[in-house]
Chains A and B, each alone.
Chain A
Amino acid sequence: MSLSYLVAVLAAGIVAGTPLLYAALGEVIAERSGVMNLGVEGMMLIGAVVGFSVGTTTCNQWLGLGAAMLVCGAVSLIHAVISIGFRGNQVASGLALTIFGTGLSAYLGRKLVGMPPTAIFKEVKIPGLSEIPVVGRIFFQQDMMVYLSIVLVVAFWFVFYKTKAGLLIRAAGENPSAVDALGHNIFFIRYACIVIGGMLAGAGGAYLSLAYSPSWVENMSAGRGWIAVALVIFAVWDPARVLLGAWLFGLITSMGLHLQALGVMIPSNFLQMLPYVFTFVVLVVTTRETKKRRSGTPAALGIPYSREDR
Chain B
Amino acid sequence: MLLNLGGWQIKKTDKKSPLKTVVISLISICLGLLFSGILISLTGSSPMSLYKEIIRSSVGSAYGFSETLVEMIPLALCSLGVSVAFRMKLWNIGAEGQFYMGAFGATFFAITFPNLPIYVLLPLMFLGGAICGGLWALIPAVPKAFWNVNETISSLLLNYISFSWIAYLVFGPWKDPKGKNFPLTVQFSKGATIPSIGNTRVTYTIFFVFLLAIVLFLLFKYSKWGYEIRVNGASRNAASYAGMSYIKNVLTVMFISGAISGVAGMAEVSGVLHRMQQSLSPGYGYTAIIITLLARLNPLSILIVSFVMGALTAGGFGLQTIGFPASIVSMFQGAILFFVLAGEIFDNYQIVRKETTQK
Contacts and interface: CB of A to CB of B under 8 A. Distances in A.
A95 B93 contact: yes
A278 to B, nearest CB: 10
Interface stretch (B125-133, B160-168, B238-246): B160-168
B290 to A, nearest CB: 7
B72 to A, nearest CB: 19
A184 interface: no
B341 A82 contact: yes
Given A93-B338, A100-B337, A270-B168, 5 more contacts: A42-B334, A88-B342, A272-B164, A276-B161, A283-B154
B160 A273 contact: yes
Given A95-B289, A110-B325, A287-B148, A226 B153 contact: yes
Interface string B51-66: 0000000000000000
A103 interface: yes
A291 B160 contact: no
B333 A230 contact: no
A276 B329 CA distance: 27
A7 interface: no
Nearest to B159: A223
Contacts of A107: 40, 43, 324-325, 328, 331
A1 B323 CA distance: 48
Interface in A252-301: 267, 269-270, 272-273, 276-277, 279-280, 283-284, 287-288, 291
A91 interface: yes
A100 B331 contact: yes
Return the 4 tightest CB-CB contacts between A and B, nearest first: A100-B334, A103-B331, A103-B330, A269-B168
Contacts of B149: 283-284, 287-288
Interface of B: 2, 12, 39-40, 43, 91, 93, 139, 143, 147-150, 152-154, 156-161, 164-165, 167-168, 171-172, 283, 286, 289-290, 293, 323-325, 327-335, 337-338, 341-342, 344-345
Contacts of A89: 341, 344
Interface of A: 38, 42, 78, 81-82, 85-89, 91-93, 95-104, 106-108, 110, 218-219, 222-223, 226-227, 229-230, 233, 267, 269-270, 272-273, 276-277, 279-280, 283-284, 287-288, 291, 308
A281 B96 CA distance: 20
15 contacts: A87-B345, A95-B337, A100-B337, A103-B334, A108-B43, A110-B324, A110-B325, A229-B153, A267-B168, A277-B161, A280-B157, A283-B143, A283-B150, A287-B147, A308-B2
Contacts of B93: 95
B164 A100 contact: no
B164 A97 contact: no
Nearest to A78: B338
Nearest to B167: A269
Contact of B91 (A81, A91, A100, A279): A91
Contacts of B333: 99-100, 103
Contacts of B293: 92
A270 B165 CA distance: 7
A102 B171 CA distance: 26
A106 B154 contact: no
A228 B333 CA distance: 24
Contacts of B334: 42, 96-104
Nearest to A277: B161
A78 B328 CA distance: 19
Nearest to B334: A100
B332 A103 contact: yes
Contacts of B91: 91
Contact of A287 (B143, B325, B329): B143
B323 A284 contact: no
Contacts of B165: 269, 273
Nearest to A81: B342
A276 B157 contact: yes
A269 B171 contact: yes
Nearest to A96: B337
Contacts of B158: 276, 280
